[in-house]
């Protein structure tokens, strides 16, 4: 696991080794063990190394092939590299190390872009072919590892993190306001664009090639893998469950490949508990597990994690986060993520990563199964709402508007009941944007956008809807899972990568082996959601590993007591900072409307926690990242609040 960065120009440039060193220095946390550079005067590649496989100097990067015509910088792990090596050696390729980096280099030399179909793992890399004068870049199928790039017709630059790109003198921190509506609605940018004008993400499952021999070079971007459409298969429940267990065991075993200590993030939920239990069976030595929680016990899963650790016999470690810990760390973590943080759980993830870094260099995590097997409650709730709407939608529009108005404004209903009913068909529209997206992403609605913000109109859910429409011939659950895998999951994985790498540890996601994902698309709906039980097939597959009171407990989903904290009078200065007239936020928000929203939240008549979280993150991001306010990052948010 490492950090990569580099750039090339189509015409002579005055920026050289010093610029590349600045770019890699910005991501030193991704690879504190070693660094290296390639510079041929026009193409410059840099690398920061976190040593996991083949700890010797032979594994250093940039790495070359035998005649030094090819050079690679690479971030990730290809877990099946040993199985590819014999065929490459038989074809005449000579190895100088035992690491997967060299296999990727030789595989590209042997098979070109087709080599990507042979890899099982997570990766982002760039290969410069000095003979053909071609740069080839690729990102893994699910987007586990990040790859950001800049292209302006003359300069092509890439990096594992945006902050490295911003160290190039020709790349500026220009904010793109056209994406602000998507951020405020969705919580993040779900497509190729970022909040920085001109900086983009290479989509998961895509490669990019830039040929400098062309008269007018342009990046060629192609998709090499996509989540396959469901193909119905007739099998018994027992057969589906047995295959799920076999595949899960295989992918966990594969991700134990390491020459350094590894552990497990254990939340006490189904996913992490299943992986931890299998790790314990597969590892000859002790298994270390790590959990995070809060003093507010209603929001903490530490008890479940502790119970599971005792059940399987791991060396268990815990960290408890306070309200002060959380907000004090926020500016630094926004700097690490480069864009506003989508979910409060990123902060929790950082603290458990920091805890784990004192013991291990690699952790396994449980991301991915909810998007594969229908684990989120919103999938079931959407199906219920959709079914009820088929009947309720027959009522006259005027009647339905009147009912919705009464629910939203009635003083006879508590704020909590109004909020719950607001998620039902009684208030929602019939389309997927209202019943699913606006309903569960808790952002600003279209009306609020018009009332509170001065923004150019953009469809905030256009990327999600593109994938939803692309899967138009699939059942509703399959459409939701596909669109979430292409949008929501990619952002979750970015959070996982940035927060773990901020602490210089590698995180691996066994559920997201692409062959396991492909298997999940064939699993019928009845095996994913049965009655009120999500992830039915997975729970049945690991029933012998996990105590029933953990296996079948209600899903908590890495909760954070953010609402309670933002209702605390001690957090009042955090809300006050949103109304500073000199901020970037002030350029786009209607101050009286914002003041009314904050007042309703303070009085408890409206729960605006998620919307305030997005505004607060945007405000801190603009100060720390766009304006380069290092003092706020170094001192922490609460130090500034106390002044």
Question: Contact at 8 Å (CB) between 129 and 139?
Answer: no
CA atoms of 60 and 57, how far apart (whole Å): 5
For residue 152, is pLDDT > 70? yes
The secondary structure of the chain in percent helix, strand, coil, rounded to multiples of 5, reads 50, 15, 35
Q: Which residue has the higher pLDDT, 140 or 608?
A: 140
For the segment 104-131, the average pLDDT, to the nearest whole number, is: 97
For the segment 269-286, the average pLDDT, to the nearest whole number, is: 94
> pLDDT > 90: what percent of the chain?
70
By DSSP bridging, strand 262-265 and strand 362-364 are parallel
Per-residue pLDDT band for 1 (boundaries 50, 70, 90) equals low
Coil vs helix vs strand at 138: strand
Residues 6+ apart with CB under 8 A from 161: 3, 26, 27, 30, 146, 148, 338, 498
Question: Contact at 8 Å (CB) between 88 and 103?
Answer: yes
Whose tokens are 């959709």? That residue is 386
Whose tokens are 């960290």? That residue is 319
The two structure tokens encoding residue 617: 């993150």
The two structure tokens encoding residue 564: 């309670």
Question: Contact at 8 Å (CB) between 609 and 566?
Answer: yes
Q: Rounded to 5 degrees, what are φ and ψ at 454?
A: -105, 90
Residue 53: predicted pLDDT:
60
Whose tokens are 């691996």? That residue is 508
Per-residue pLDDT band for 643 (boundaries 50, 70, 90) equals very low
For the segment 408-433, the average pLDDT, to the nearest whole number, is: 82
Sheet strands (E) in 334-436: 362-364
Of 408, 412, 444, 411, give the one whose Cα is nearest residue 423. Answer: 408
Residue 569: predicted pLDDT:
86
> pLDDT > 70: what percent of the chain?
97
Per-residue pLDDT band for 54 (boundaries 50, 70, 90) equals low
The two structure tokens encoding residue 295: 């003093």
Residue 557: predicted pLDDT:
67
Whose tokens are 């500034």? That residue is 640
For residue 542, is pLDDT > 80? yes
Cis peptide before 62 (omega within 30 of 0): yes
* Residues known to be catalytic: 2
For the segment 531-541, the average pLDDT, to the nearest whole number, is: 95
Residue 568: predicted pLDDT:
87
Least confidently predicted of 339-343, 555-559, 577-581: 555-559
What mean pLDDT is reported for the chain? 91
The two structure tokens encoding residue 423: 């998620």
CA atoms of 116 and 109, how far apart (whole Å): 12
Task: Name the DSSP letter for residue 47.
Answer: E
Per-residue pLDDT band for 56 (boundaries 50, 70, 90) equals low
For the segment 153-179, the average pLDDT, to the nearest whole number, is: 95
Residues 6+ apart with CB under 8 A from 324: 638
Q: If residue 319 lies in a helix (H) or strand (E), which one and from where to where?
A: strand 315-321
Mean pLDDT comparison of 52-61, 440-449, 452-461, 476-485, highest-scoring range? 476-485
In angstroms, the first-to-last Cα distance of the chain is 40
Question: What are 47's strand-pairing partners?
Answer: 4, 36
For 305-357, write each residue's pLDDT tens digit. Answer: 999 999 999 999 999 999 999 999 999 999 999 999 999 999 999 999 999 99
Least confidently predicted of 288-302, 311-325, 551-565: 551-565
The two structure tokens encoding residue 159: 């990096």
CA atoms of 585 and 565, how far apart (whole Å): 22
Residue 298: predicted pLDDT:
81
For the segment 8-36, the average pLDDT, to the nearest whole number, is: 90
Q: Rounded to 5 degrees, what are φ and ψ at 319?
A: -140, 140
Mean pLDDT comparison of 26-35, 136-145, 583-592, highest-scoring range? 136-145
The two structure tokens encoding residue 462: 């256009």
Whose tokens are 């470690």? That residue is 317
CA atoms of 419 and 414, how far apart (whole Å): 9
Residue 415: predicted pLDDT:
72
For 391-407, write each residue's pLDDT tens digit. Answer: 988 888 899 889 988 88
For 490-508, write each residue's pLDDT tens digit. Answer: 999 999 999 999 999 999 9
Residue 52: predicted pLDDT:
67
Q: Which residue has the higher pLDDT, 382 or 538?
A: 538
Distances (CA, A) of 633 to 55, 162, 262, 396, 581: 33, 17, 30, 54, 21
Q: Quick one: 432 exposed, middle or buried, by C-beta within 10 A (0-12, 13-18, 19+)?
A: buried
Residue 299: predicted pLDDT:
83
Per-residue pLDDT band for 642 (boundaries 50, 70, 90) equals very low
Q: What is the pTM of this model?
A: 0.94
| H helical segments located in 169-225 | 180-186
For residue 556, is pLDDT > 80? no
Q: Which residue has the higher pLDDT, 567 or 446?
A: 567
For 223-265, write each residue's pLDDT tens digit. Answer: 999 999 988 888 999 999 999 999 999 999 999 987 778 899 9
CA atoms of 314 and 49, how far apart (whole Å): 29
For the segment 559-575, the average pLDDT, to the nearest whole number, is: 88
The two structure tokens encoding residue 265: 């993030």
Least confidently predicted of 49-58, 84-93, 217-226, 351-360: 49-58
For the segment 527-533, the average pLDDT, to the nearest whole number, is: 92
For the segment 426-431, the average pLDDT, to the nearest whole number, is: 85
């Amino acid at each position: 696991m490492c950090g990569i960065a580099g750039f090339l120009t189509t015409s002579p440039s005055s920026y050289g080794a010093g610029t590349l060193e600045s770019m890699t220095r910005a991501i030193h946390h991704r690879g504190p063990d070693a660094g290296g550079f390639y510079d041929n005067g026009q193409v410059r590649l840099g690398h920061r190394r976190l040593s996991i496989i083949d700890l010797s100097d032979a594994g250093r990067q940039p790495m070359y092939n035998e005649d030094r015509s090819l050079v690679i910088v690479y971030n990730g792990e290809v877990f099946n590299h040993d199985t590819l090596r014999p065929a490459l050696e038989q074809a005449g390729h000579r190895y100088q190390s035992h690491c997967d980096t060299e296999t990727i280099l030789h595989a590209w030399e042997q098979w070109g872009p087709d080599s990507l179909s042979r890899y099982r793992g997570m990766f982002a890399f760039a290969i410069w072919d000095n003979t053909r004068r071609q740069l080839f870049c690729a990102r893994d199928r699910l987007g586990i590892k990040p790859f950001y790039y800049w292209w302006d017709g003359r300069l092509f630059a890439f990096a594992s993190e945006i902050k490295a790109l911003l160290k190039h003198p020709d790349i500026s921190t220009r904010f793109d306001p056209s994406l602000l509506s998507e951020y405020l609605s969705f919580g993040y940018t779900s497509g190729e664009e970022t909040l920085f004008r001109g900086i983009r993400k290479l989509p998961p499952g895509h490669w990019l090639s830039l040929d400098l021999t062309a008269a007018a070079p342009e990046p060629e971007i192609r998709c090499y893998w996509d989540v396959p459409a469901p193909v119905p298969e007739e099998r018994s429940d027992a057969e589906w469950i047995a295959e799920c267990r076999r595949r899960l065991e295989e992918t966990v075993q594969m991700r134990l490949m390491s020459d350094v200590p590894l552990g497990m993030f254990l939340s006490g939920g189904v996913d992490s508990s299943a992986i931890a239990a299998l790790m314990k069976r597969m590892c000859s030595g002790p298994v270390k597990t790590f959990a995070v929680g809060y003093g507010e016990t209603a929001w903490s899963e530490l008890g479940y994690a502790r119970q599971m650790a005792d059940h399987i016999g791991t060396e268990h470690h815990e960290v408890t986060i306070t309200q002060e810990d959380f907000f004090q760390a926020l500016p630094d973590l926004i700097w690490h993520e480069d864009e506003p943080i989508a979910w409060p759980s990123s902060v929790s993830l950082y603290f458990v990563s920091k805890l784990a870094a004192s013991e291990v260099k690699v952790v396994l995590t449980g991301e991915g199964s909810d998007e594969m097997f229908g684990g989120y409650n919103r999938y079931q709730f959407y199906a219920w709402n959709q079914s009820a709407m088929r009947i309720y939608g027959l009522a006259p529009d005027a009647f339905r508007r009147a009912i919705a108005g009464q629910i939203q404004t009635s003083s006879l209903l508590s704020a909590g009941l109004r909020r719950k009913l607001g998620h039902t068909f009684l208030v929602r529209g019939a389309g997927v944007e209202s019943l699913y997206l606006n309903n569960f992403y808790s952002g600003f609605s279209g009306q609020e956008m018009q009332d509170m913000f001065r923004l150019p109109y953009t469809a905030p859910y256009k990327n999600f809807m593109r994938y939803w429409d692309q899967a138009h011939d699939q059942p509703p659950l399959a459409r939701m899972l596909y669109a979430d895998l292409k949008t929501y999951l990619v952002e979750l994985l970015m959070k996982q990568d940035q927060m773990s790498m901020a602490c210089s540890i590698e995180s691996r996601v066994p559920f997201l082996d692409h062959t396991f994902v492909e298997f999940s698309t064939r699993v019928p709906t009845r095996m994913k959601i049965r009655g009120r039980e999500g992830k039915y097939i997975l729970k049945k597959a690991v029933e012998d590993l996990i105590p029933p009171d953990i296996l079948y407990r209600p899903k908590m989903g890495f909760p954070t007591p953010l609402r309670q904290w933002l209702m605390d009078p001690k957090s009042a200065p955090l809300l006050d900072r949103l109304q500073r007239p000199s901020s970037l936020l002030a350029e786009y928000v209607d101050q009286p409307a914002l003041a009314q929203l904050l007042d309703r939240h303070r009085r408890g008549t409206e729960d605006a926690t998620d919307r305030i979280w997005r505004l607060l993150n945007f405000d801190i991001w603009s100060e720390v990242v766009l304006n380069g306010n290092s003092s706020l990052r170094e001192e922490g948010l609460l130090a500034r609040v106390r002044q």
